[in-house]
Amino acid sequence: IFVLFITSPTVTMASAFRLTMKPKVTDNMNHLMVDFTQERQLLQNLKFLPVPWAPEMEVGDCLVLDNTVSVAWKMPVEDSKIDHYILEYRKTDHEGLPRIKDQRCWEVVDNIKTTEYSLSGLKFDSKFMNFRVRACNKAAAGEYSDPVTLETRAFNFGFDSSTSHLNLKVEDRTVEWDPQGGKGLESKVKGKENKGSAHLTNLKNMSRSGTPSPKRTLTTRSPAIRGSRDRFTGESYTVLGDTSMDCGQHYWEVKALKDCKSYSVGVSYRNLGKFDQLGKTNTTWCIHINNWLQSSFAAKHNNKAKSLDGTAPGRIGVFCDLDSGQLSFYNAETKQLIHTFKAKFSQPVVPAFMVSFVCIVVDRHSHTPVYYTPCRSSLDNTRELVLPFLKN
């Protein structure tokens, strides 16, 4: 019983008391009382929702492939009152537990109704990604799960624009044919030619690309050489990637614009000659697409061409497996294998492109794709038949 003592002739009662409480008085009218009997019963019948437990990440069920990350979790105890989950993720270049002071902020996916979620269409421009999840009911949100760090094995490279052909316009992710590209520079070079030959000799020496050592690291970027835009000339409309590969598995995609005429996509050693074209030497491997005058679609290596069935896809996936000595090309839209080269790479290779009358766009942050093809190797005892290199 709540007792309210009277200290003055007038008593002001709060609105809550006037609405819910029943005032009573003692027999001698010394003080007022409030009867809580009904309210006590209502309060005792209330069932408060407990704060949800922190979920547990199912690391074994998390999957990273084809620019998609799938994460799964479970509740440590069964809780039928869970309304939804909140997933947070961020990119990082640090392995292990997430760092408190990280340059990247957490991104949030709210209102997830199941204990799994897939993030698709990602750009794997970092080495790892952190994930954490929390459960929510109608009343409160629980603690975050212990975070997990998943590896996003991406091959990130740029174009070595300083050594590309003069008629190629190289930007961040595109290579475009530019018929006027070399005229301005040619006039400047001719002017310098009249002043002396020493500068031109230095240019020629610098333009030679030395053979990389096989012991160089996986992602070795070539230094930019000033004034070496004569690295490729003549009809070798070539640009190379600035990052070499000497081991492991790497994947990237190339997309040609609708008005494309002729282009080649593949890999090459760094010591490709300035007049050499992709596929015409024993140090280059590529597929060539020609939609100008007479259409052709062929795989080329060592000046030998093999005609390929069907038409060239609008988007081509390149998978380079240096450990097994295979270079495979895929239709990135239908996931079908186009052609595979088998080679013993004795030197590091770089992505190589040859472009004429066309603009191509390169997706340099693609992850190893999931391409289901008829072969005899299986993955994780599943019913789907997949290429053996796809296991993460």
Q: Over the stretch 317-353, which tens digit does the pLDDT of each residue have?
A: 999 999 999 999 999 888 899 999 999 999 999 999 8
Considering the domain architecture, whether residues 14 and 112 belong to the same structural domain is answered as: no
Going by C-beta distance under 8 Å and a sequence separation of 6 or more, which residues neighbour residue 186? 166
Per-residue pLDDT of 87-99, as tens digits, reads 999 998 888 776 6
Asked whether 285 and 267 are in contact (CB, 8 A), the reply is yes
User: Residue 184: phi, psi to the nearest 5?
Assistant: -65, -40
Q: Is residue 156 part of a domain?
A: no
With the C-alpha atoms ordered 271, 276, 279, 281, is the resulting torsion angle positive or negative?
negative
Q: Is residue 288 part of a domain?
A: yes
Give me 330's structure tokens: 């895929």
Considering the domain architecture, whether residues 224 and 284 belong to the same structural domain is answered as: yes
* Number of domains the chain contains: 3
**Least confidently predicted of 90-104, 136-150, 289-303:** 90-104
Considering the domain architecture, whether residues 190 and 335 belong to the same structural domain is answered as: yes
Give me 25's structure tokens: 């008085």
Considering the domain architecture, whether residues 283 and 384 belong to the same structural domain is answered as: yes
CA distance 108 to 317: 31
Q: What is the mean pLDDT of residues 264-293?
A: 90
Query: Among the three residues 107, 129, 151, which one is the final residue of a domain in this structure?
Result: 151
From 300, 361, 366, select the one nearest 123 (Cα to Cα): 366
CATH number of the domain residue 74 falls in: 2.60.40.10
Give me 123's structure tokens: 């750009």
pTM for this model (two decimals):
0.58
Find the helix or strand (DSSP H, E) in which 320 lies: strand 315-321
Considering the domain architecture, whether residues 202 and 335 belong to the same structural domain is answered as: yes
Q: What is the mean pLDDT of residues 198-225?
A: 33
Q: What is the mean pLDDT of residues 247-266?
A: 84
CATH number of the domain residue 234 falls in: 2.60.120.920
pLDDT band at residue 208, thresholds of 50, 70 and 90?
very low
Q: What pLDDT does 57 receive?
A: 96
pLDDT band at residue 213, thresholds of 50, 70 and 90?
very low
Query: Among the three residues 127, 151, 175, which one is the final residue of a domain in this structure?
Result: 151
Considering the domain architecture, whether residues 232 and 289 belong to the same structural domain is answered as: yes
CA distance 192 to 176: 28
**Least confidently predicted of 76-85, 172-181, 196-205, 306-315:** 196-205
Give me 106's structure tokens: 């957490």
Going by C-beta distance under 8 Å and a sequence separation of 6 or more, which residues neighbour residue 347? 211, 212, 214, 246, 269, 270, 271, 283
Considering the domain architecture, whether residues 36 and 68 belong to the same structural domain is answered as: no
pLDDT at residue 388 tops 50: no
Strand partners, 150: 129
CA distance 353 to 237: 8
Q: Is residue 176 part of a domain?
A: yes
Q: Is residue 312 part of a domain?
A: yes
Q: Is residue 50 part of a domain?
A: no
CA angle 271, 202, 272 (to 5 degrees): 10
Please give the residue range of the domain that contains residue 38.
Answer: 2-45
Considering the domain architecture, whether residues 102 and 12 belong to the same structural domain is answered as: no
Considering the domain architecture, whether residues 308 and 264 belong to the same structural domain is answered as: yes
Considering the domain architecture, whether residues 185 and 228 belong to the same structural domain is answered as: yes
DSSP state of 119: E
CA distance 193 to 205: 16
Q: Is residue 12 part of a domain?
A: yes
3-8 long-range contacts, Cβ below 8 Å, gap at least 24?
3/31, 3/33, 3/34, 4/31, 4/32, 4/33, 4/34, 5/31, 6/30, 6/31, 6/32
Per-residue pLDDT of 75-89, as tens digits, reads 999 888 999 999 999
CA distance 267 to 349: 6
CA distance 6 to 31: 6
Give me 370's structure tokens: 């999931």
Q: What pLDDT does 386 receive?
A: 31
CA distance 366 to 66: 7
From 246, 253, 235, select the one nearest 270 (Cα to Cα): 246
From 289, 273, 280, select the one nearest 240 (Cα to Cα): 273
For the packed helices 183-195 and 198-207, what is the interaxial angle rounded to 10 degrees?
130
Q: Is residue 353 part of a domain?
A: yes
Find the helix or strand (DSSP H, E) in which 202 lies: helix 198-207
Give me 131's structure tokens: 């994930």
Strand partners, 84: 136
Q: Is residue 91 part of a domain?
A: yes
Going by C-beta distance under 8 Å and a sequence separation of 6 or more, which residues neighbour residue 81? 49, 52, 137, 138
Considering the domain architecture, whether residues 120 and 168 belong to the same structural domain is answered as: no
Considering the domain architecture, whether residues 247 and 357 belong to the same structural domain is answered as: yes
